Structure 1
Amino acid sequence: MTKKSTIQVEEVNDHIVNWLKDYAKNANVNGFVIGISGGIDSAVTSTLCAQTGLKVLCVEMPIHQHASHVSRGKEHIKQLQDKFTNVSSVVADLTASFETFKKALPTEQIEETKLNLTLANTRARLRMTTLYYFAGIHGLLVAGTGNKVEDFGVGFYTKYGDGGVDLSPIADLMKSEVFALGAYLKVPQSILVAQPSDGLFGDDKSDEDQLGASYDELEWAMISDEKGVSVDGGFSEREKVVFSIYKKLNKVNQHKMNPIPVCLINRD
């Protein structure tokens, strides 16, 4: 597969930090609130926000969370707080709230795979609600943690969940570029080597397990598609599979990437 794009990490870092400062100033807010998952995207995003010097609130929101995700998140928050005096943190354990919500809804006679996916998305939406609670209390913006492959390639996020944010600092970066920026920022090694995971199923299931392809593969497919390369362009068998996965996900998730359809009324 073709070589991935590269970035000048120091220049990109400074550009995003300045963009964040300008946006917060124009919005007349105190800073940013970020959900910390123990993954590379939230680690990079929170570190970028911390560099602005504005208030940064890191929120842990476990819901039956895998222990490795929790430990990586705590390690990252400690690193941030040791380095930046403008960073604070809070834990909002949503496990009991999630279980109460489940009890209020019918779950019998629902196909298991569909139920599990719906409940996973429910977790993300509970977290979004929690982040906006803290944002409202403290006058903060909710900083999104989605990267370009997730947000504009395969739509790998929850609508009105982790997709419900005020601004997206890293959404124009490929996953490999987020990792490169993370290495430059010296986020914990445990995060740099961890398999990306959305953490929505209570286990250590990776994003690749769910998507059927790695981020490196999907990144290649996204770049190929943007260049107008077709499946007839001499792809290997694996490349054909990955390209098919990418095209399918990109198509079915357009409802997340496009503005909400509005039925326009002709008043002439």
Structure 2
Amino acid sequence: MAVSNTFNSEKINEHIVKWLLDYATNAKVKGFVIGISGGIDSALTSTLCAQTGLPTLCVEMPIHQHQSHVNRAVEHIIQLKNRFPNVSNIKTELTPVFDSFVNQVEQNDERKTLDITLANTRARLRMTTLYYHAGIHGLLVAGTGNKVEDFGVGFYTKYGDGGVDVSPIADLVKSEVRALAKYLNVPESILKAQPSDGLYENDLTDEMQIGASYDELEWAMEQVELGKSAENFSGREAEVFSIYKRLNTINQHKMNPIPVCEIPKNLK
């Protein structure tokens, strides 16, 4: 899906970097920590954080990681460190931690349920790791979710990659992420890579999991914002619209505040 003619990469870049710098300054923290996956969202987020001039820690957290993801992550980190002297990196190997956890918990015989649950476990181990590094270095955890993932279909792990301090690109849809990443010279290998959450050993892409591409999901998100309904579409458009609406509905628990049971005053 093409970005709008009014999308100004230079101005949007400046706006996000200033927002990050102002937030960190007001919060009285030293800088940012970002999990680097080899994907475009984390590459863009880390580049934006690096531009603030504040310490920016890039963390690799492999868990039985597909080699192509590892290679792209390393390529991006090397490029970023060459461009920005405030960028540092560390690798925390989580494979043995994950394997130890799996060996200690009950296994469900339902394969699909087990695979999804373990994928979410990987994301939550990574969240814990990022907050460890944030805590000892006085940094904020920068989220890497985009608008379609965070507010469209809820394609992230609750208290995993959804557990962050700031979300600098959460108002950008995927096509805008690609445009801004290209403007900021993110490595070509990352720009061309198929989006993947990296939570499965077989390099399962996001489109394989969701059943629709990000361009299609952006289209569906726009149709919902325009007030359209399923009756307006047929064929592949109807299928994509249905996928978007289903995921948006079942994942509202991720997007809305945690429900609080309010106690009537006369009972307290």
Q: TM-score, normalised by structure 1?
A: 0.97
SS of the aligned residue for 1:58 comes to strand
What percent identity do the matched residue pairs reach?
A: 69
1:246 to 237, 244, 247: 244
Equivalent position amino acid for 1:28 in 2: K
Q: Within 1, Cα distance between the matches of 2:143 and 2:189?
A: 22
Note the 1:119-198 alignment, pairs <5 A.
119-198=118-197
Please report how far the alpha carbon of residue 3 of structure 1 lies from its aligned counterpart in structure 2 after TM superposition.
Answer: 5.7
Equivalent position amino acid for 1:68 in 2: S
* Match in the other structure for 1:237: 235
Q: Within 2, Cα distance between the matches of 1:186 and 1:5?
A: 20
Please report how far the alpha carbon of residue 36 of structure 1 lies from its aligned counterpart in structure 2 after TM superposition.
Answer: 0.1
C-alpha deviations, 1:44-98, integer Å up to 9, x for none?
0000000000000000000000000000000000000000000000000000000
* Match in the other structure for 1:50: 50
- Greater than 6 Å deviation, 4+ residue runs: none
Q: Is the 8 A contact 2:2 2:175 kept in 1?
A: no
* Match in the other structure for 1:257: 255
Please report how far the alpha carbon of residue 231 of structure 1 lies from its aligned counterpart in structure 2 after TM superposition.
Answer: 2.2
Note the 1:1-268 alignment, pairs <5 A.
4-5=3-4, 7-107=7-107, 109-233=108-232, 235-268=233-266
Q: Within 2, Cα distance between the matches of 1:70 and 1:26?
A: 35
Q: Within 2, Cα distance between the matches of 1:125 and 1:101?
A: 12
Unaligned runs of at least 5 residues, structure 1: none
Q: Within 2, Cα distance between the matches of 1:63 and 1:48?
A: 26
Q: How many residues align?
A: 265
SS of the aligned residue for 1:69 comes to helix
Please report how far the alpha carbon of residue 5 of structure 1 lies from its aligned counterpart in structure 2 after TM superposition.
Answer: 3.6
Q: Is the 8 A contact 1:4 1:219 kept in 2?
A: no
Please report how far the alpha carbon of residue 202 of structure 1 lies from its aligned counterpart in structure 2 after TM superposition.
Answer: 1.4
Q: Is the 8 A contact 1:30 1:54 kept in 2?
A: yes
Q: Is the 8 A contact 1:4 1:220 kept in 2?
A: no
Unaligned runs of at least 5 residues, structure 2: none
Equivalent position amino acid for 1:69 in 2: H
Equivalent position amino acid for 1:8 in 2: N
Q: Within 1, Cα distance between the matches of 2:158 and 2:2?
A: 31
